[in-house]
Every structure is written in C-alpha cells, then in structure tokens.
Structure 1
C-alpha cells in the first residue's frame, strides 16, 4: 500500500500557526511570506479534506478538528526537535529558566541542589516574570507557565494548581474560633480570583475583600508575619507548615482548574533543557 502523507512543509506551517496563533508570526519563523503560509494551509486542508482553521477579518482560529490535529502533530514535531537536539553540540553558558517568583523561590530553588548533583557543572540561571516569555527575543531555555490548557502546543503538564488558606499560629487560632470575619484576607494581583474560587468550592462566605499584594511571595510573607490569612498552593508553603510558621485553616485543598506547564522554545531544545525537563518531571512525581 502506497503511503500518502501530507507535505511536510504544510504540516510544519500548520504547527507553527497553531503555536503562534498568527500567520505573520509563522511566516517569520519559516522565513517565508504570509501568503506562502496561507497557501501551505490550504494545501494541507485540501489534502486532508478537513477545515483546520477559521479565517476572520482580523483573526485566525483553529477548528475543533484543527485543535486535535495540532496537538497530535506538536508531539511528533517535538520528537523531531528532541532527536535533532541530541545530535547537536551542547551550547555553552548556564541553563536559563523563566518562572513565577513564588514558584521559583518556594518550589524550584530549594530543589536545585538535587539537579546539580545529577548534572554537576551545569549551572541554572533563574529569572522571574508573570508575562509569557518571547523565545524569539529573550535568551530563555525553559519557562514555567500556569493555564487551564496548554499555553502552546507541545507544552508539558507538570501538576495541578490547588489552593487553601493558611495563617500564622495566632491568627489561625482566632480564625478557628470565630471564622474568617476577624482575619484580613491576603492574596496577590497575579491570582486575584483565588479567594473567590476557594469560597465557592467550600461554600464559605468571605467577610471582606482580600488585600492584594504584588506577588504571592509577599502575601505569604505577610501571613507569616501575622498580618492575616493567605490563599496559596499548599505545595508552596509546605516547609512553613512543617516549621509551624503557618497553619492550615481548612481540611484539604481546592483545585483551581489551572496547571503548571513546562514550555520549551520552538525548534531544537538544548540538551541541558531536556535534562531539566526530565529531572523536573521526576521531581514532581516523587
């Protein structure tokens, strides 16, 4: 039986359009014109007999069939990139990881010594930001994002984002006696919805509007100092709970619907980034 696979150039163009959400961005990545990308998409749709994208006046969106196809193809192209990277000479310089401040400070950095033990001599440079990384403009080898769905095709899901309230021992005793009414609610402008998500899931009425800090790290520190109760992922305050700096105010935690995702740059990934990915997945599983 003769195989009839779609043209690789058309598949590649479609994957890049799915990753970037833009014909122009895909054209720039391929170093071709935007009409050339459009032509490749039309050829692919004609070959498959299925509409993969919806074209609007100012936007382009994938059809449900296109989304499913893009997800499957992303894994295949990721495998090609990984295989290619394995043949490439290792790049010099540290492994550059972009993450959220609180996740980096409270989850990643305390574990980095174990990564260095496994990969001696490989330095990791951690930077923080809440904005999505632009791999075409920034020297970043791996990024951590949160979203309810893959932020880009090929992103690797790490673990759920769950939340629960915590407070220092003094405010915690007050909260357990009289509820949250006498306790200042603390949160962050990065995740302002978390108190509402937790309240709805647990059937709890919030007595006041939360006081929002610039980052969850600041909100956690404020809670440790006794300023109120913070809503945060239990994973990020496990050490504080162990040392009795914070006390949980509820039984169990609440899933927000979001996950942490690992995102690698498009194209061949550095060997070091692939090693970091493998270590990260194993560390989370333990």
Structure 2
C-alpha cells in the first residue's frame, strides 16, 4: 500500500524584489511531499529558504511560481472560506511562541481562541477544552490561568503545540520549534511531537539547522542550500548513505563527546555566496572540495539515485 501524500509543494518558487530592483530567489523550484503519519525534516543553514518555504505551505506567503497541493487539490490561490478551511487543516508551530501569543491573553484564551473563531465550541466549554489540551502536552491544568510571560520557553512551546492541535489538523508545520530551547528541553519537545504524531497520525514537517536533532524524529530529510533542495534521503540512512558534499559536511560538523580524537573534523570552507549574486552552475561550487568544470557551468538537477534517495550533484549525475 502506497503512502498517502497530504501536502505537496510542486515547483514552488519565491522571489523578492530589492529596493534597487534586483531579484532575490529565496526558494527555487522546490518539489516536496509530506505524508500522513510521517515527518519530513528540512535542514540547512540560516538563510537557505526553509522558513519561506514553510510560510508558503501554510499560506502565510504567496508563491511567485508553482503550486501547493492539499489532498490532490491545488490550493495555491485559495481565498475567503476556502483559505480559512485550509488554515484549519494545516497548522503551524512557530519558532518564537511569544511572538505569536497575545501577552494579554491567558493560556485558557490562547488555547480556546481557534475553536471559538471557528464556532466549534461555546464560551462555557473553554475550561474543559484547555484542560484536555494541556494534559495532551504534559502541562497541569493550573496553567490555564497563567500568562505567556510567566512561563519558561519550553512551557510556552508546549502551549503553542496545544493551540495547533485544537483544530485537529492533518498537517503541522514546525518552524525551528526547538532552536531557542535548552538541549534537555529540546529532547522533551521532540519526544512529545513524536508521541502526538503516533496518537493522531498527523503529517508533519520540521525545519531545523541541526541535522543531528532533526534526524531523531524525521522519516525523510530534505537538505536545503540557498533555496534549493540538494538531497532527499531517509532519516535513518543519512549518516551512512548521504552523497552531496554539503550534506556530508553538515554531518561531519556534528560534535560528539564520544568521537575518536583522531577523526578529522569536516568543515565547510568559505562563505555562502549572496543569494543576490549566485554564480552560474552549482551554488555550492565555491565551498565544495570536489568542484569540477561542469559545476561552474551547469546547475545540477535533483536526480534519483535509488529508491527514495535523490541528490543534486554532478558527482552522481
């Protein structure tokens, strides 16, 4: 039985015009699928286009080109009632929950507000709803009377997850949802997301710049560099089967206190080029130890190696 794709990006591109009329391509011709009950991890350095891609998928930003497909239907240009229904089915957990909370609202109101907006509950049902979803994210019911500023970062992120769950979405998109948290708190949030996904069979995307963290929960990983997907690989195979030089460098840069002291630490030389002034050919060429003449002339396309493993690199073309 084939997997069911709930949300899909088809040839998604997002371009921005600068004040001096130049064009910045934040997301370039991206194709990705998010499957029911599975997690897609999207990994890359800051500025690679991960958040822009996520904002397009949740329809907080409009693609310059391409399509967003939800359950086989093109929802790219949805407006009004259709867009509102899409937002109910596709929810987002933001990097900074404080920025998405009204500081004057108690947790009780934050959690129940989406349901009231969609007229799915009455005001006198708010407390029972808050209790239900606080319990779901392992917070005591007393938290419903707290304000966001009176909680820790991990507690606020749990409230953000609870709020995203209230509308019973089919897809949850997590935008760097753990990057500002302590390592031990990150672990708790990751385990919570894994548990909730199993219980509710939710399709999930999780973007992060930490490949070690995201591979702990992602079934599939998309490696992103300067707006492009350069490798697509199963989460459990990335350490042994990664091919793209950028992916290998990301893995090689992971610090492990148990590592052999004689092991050479991989580094990525040089700085990434400006997205406003990308070179002809492969955008990774100035940082790649395997750069060949063709890399400076022709941009590599994402091509299938075997199974569900794809890579955009002339070394494997």
The structure whose Rg is larger is 1
**TM interval, short-chain normalised:** under 0.3
Q: Which has the higher helix share?
A: 1
TM-score, structure 1 as length reference: 0.23
